[in-house]
Structure 1
């Protein structure tokens, strides 16, 4: 079954690549020598294979960068080209010169592609701060308030690298958090760039009096034991809760879950057994699933990521169908669900219709003045 699905996917991908290649060739053909055709075909095949090759040739920075940007071009052209071809077809009903229409359709497509790449790159690499104020009707710390900073889906790798990590740490510290929560997808399927770029040393600079806590996501996997990643994170002063609970300061319980895709993850009822629900309970759950279960088990605040808010529109329409809360804030009973669009990106290093973000959560408790 998986082989059949894989073959269908490859055939569909090949047909789309052919469509993109044919569209480009139709536009440039009148302006170049026919002998350029072979170079064009080789370049297109290389670009289309680059992302796959980057997985085969593990550790290749060049292939990873080329593959990621090819995926960005592929995604944008898949949206733009059908609209351009429809427009060109409509102009056939007019007296506009066909040669001029074809020429300017290519120029407009190229300009739009450059603009969207620039805009998408800005959204991906220039994170905003998203703020929320919530109230929990339980006794909190002595001053009755808590400043939480949350960041998810960093996907630290070849493109979301050292400078992106430094920017994140600086922004987190500027927000002066009491506690920092990182609900998963810290690395991007590969631990090598995380180590080589010294991301761990950078993350050790996060300052939060109550500590930095993390859960792991579906991309926090690689060819090796998960204990290696957990060890690296904990060397940076980040406490990983891997289907674990942690009591903090005698007044707060933190629950960190394995990712929803992990068949061995524990039931939430087992994790919260024995937890004092008269005190606040926060949960790090990478994928925003099981909100009703979290409410029933007495969770007060659930922080998640995973969805990227679609990352590239209209992807947000799909995530909105898949998740009850795919982005932002939702309250169900005592449960406050906050889902981040993520600090990094997956695949194409662009965001359109979404933006990288760090989340600031100001919590007031029952004993707040």
Structure 2
């Protein structure tokens, strides 16, 4: 079944790239001159590098090879998506533009003709005389005019050029948005059990940093500086910190030691930690000053803070254990739960958690990926309520795969808890 699925996926991808090559290269060029050869090479090498980057990361290839392949491969992935969307949108404009040009060509000979009826006083026209042919000397050569493109070729070039421009601009702006670092988002969450003394308590929620072959130490430093500037009371790192081993990414994660909050920094695993060696990263973040909550709970001054492992840990016997994390707590105290995936909300409701903080979805990251994320998650981004439990989902600070976001800007969220007690 895996082989069949793989072959089917390969056939679909090949068909899509053939469609893009046809519309953007074959239909916009004539003959096998250098423009068509260059375009064909681009649509051959680009997918090859993209798949090589994916396999290098998933297969844990040498980190230097991952870094070489990641930028061109993952950017091509994002560009391919928006080239496809733009070209498909252009199909609706193609017949309209063709008819418009055809109508213009038909009407052009009659424009400005006016009243062409002959007057009776007009003198008879003498027969035209042809000028004598000029003999070309040996040093002269006939002037060759460049033929104008056909209507179909012109339409293909206009639509193809517009599609390529729109896709490149979209990916460029989306990549700039990631590399400049996440913006701060502030959300007020009222909790019925929160005492008045804790009104205004601030939790900085950081998720999905995804340090790896693309986003490295410089990006981690920008995240840390942004978090510290909010002066939170507590910092919650809710999973998917890294895409790689401690050996490769330990130096990139080092700035996390600078995180500063009055009541400390806490960490729970995401699914990508289990792809990268969760146990080694739990110990690494501990050395950086973060406190891992592995199916555990701590009692703070005015509420309980709990954390559960990610669902991906189930394959290694390290999955989420809500009973262990929440057993024995005082139900009269407010409880805030750190859980990477929004789908864990159902267990949180069953255990009477007041607020769950999650990430994982990236808000879809690349539109229309939000539609796919919505099909797999109860909440894609923002604050939601499930019974007596509230769920907040961050879009995340970084990006996985393409270092690009479209329609889902990265964020670090400052949750300000509000008491309803007087």
- TM-score normalised per structure 2: 0.79
Aligned match for 2:310, one of 256, 259, 266: 259
Equivalent position of 1:72 in the other structure: 78
CA separation of 1:48/1:307 partners in 2, compared to 1, >3 Å: closer, same or farther? same
Cα pair 2:298 2:306 within 8 Å, conserved: yes
Partner residue in 1 for 2:98: 92
Counterpart for residue 7 of structure 2:
7
Aligned partners of 1:136 and 1:334 also within 8 Å? no
* Structure 2 counterpart of 1:217, from 256, 259, 270: 270
Q: 1:194 offset after TM fit, Å?
A: 2.1
- Please state if 1:347 is matched with 2:346: no
CA–CA distance in 2 between the matches of 1:339 and 1:139? Answer: 21
SS of residue matched to 2:19: helix
Distance 1:200 1:351 in 2: 22
Could you tell me how far 1:302 is from its partner in structure 2? 0.5
1:221-261 per-residue CA deviation (whole Å, 9 max, x = no partner) reads 345x4221112111111112222223334x43222222123
2-structure distance, mates of 1:72, 1:193: 25
1:292-311, Cα deviation, whole Å (9 max, x unpaired): 43123121110111111111
Q: Does 1:133 align with 2:132?
A: no
Q: Secondary structure at the match of 1:351?
A: coil
- Tell me the equivalent position of 2:351: 297
User: Residues 179-210 of structure 1: CA distance to partner in whole angstroms, max 9, x if unpaired?
Assistant: 00011111125555522xx2232111111121
Is 1:246 aligned with 2:298?
Answer: yes
Distance 1:308 1:88 in 2: 35
Q: 1:359 aligns with which of 408, 413, 417?
A: 413
Aligned residues between the structures: 363
Give, in whole Å, the separation in 1 of the partners of 2:196 and 2:246.
37
Would you say 1:208 and 2:207 are equivalent positions?
no
Q: What is the match of residue 26 of structure 1?
A: 26
Q: 1:125–1:356: 8 Å Cα contact kept in structure 2? A: no
Contact (CA 8 Å) 2:294, 2:307: kept in 1 or not? yes
Alignment RMSD (CA, Å): 2.4
Q: Is the 2:194–2:419 contact (alpha carbons within 8 Å) kept by the matching residues of 1? A: yes
1:140 and 1:164 map into 2 onto residues whose CA distance is 37
Q: Structure 1 unaligned runs (5+)?
A: none
The residue aligned with 1:58 is 62
* 8 Å CA contact retained: 2:313, 2:320: no
Structure 2: 5+ residue runs without aligned partners?
Answer: 103-150
1:309 aligns to 2:326 (yes or no)? no
Measure how far apart 1:176 and its partner are.
0.4
Q: Which has the higher contact order (CA 8 A, sep 6+)?
A: 1
Decide which of 238, 243, 260 is 1:183's aligned counterpart.
238
Contact 2:29–2:36, Cα closer than 8 Å, also in 1 = no
- Please give the alpha-carbon distance, in whole angstroms, between the structure 2 residues aligned to 1:31 and 1:247: 73
Is 1:227 the counterpart of 2:226? The answer is no
CA distance in 1, matches of 2:39, 2:347: 54
Quick check: which has more Rg, 1 or 2? 2
Contact kept in structure 1, 2:236 and 2:267, CA below 8 Å: yes
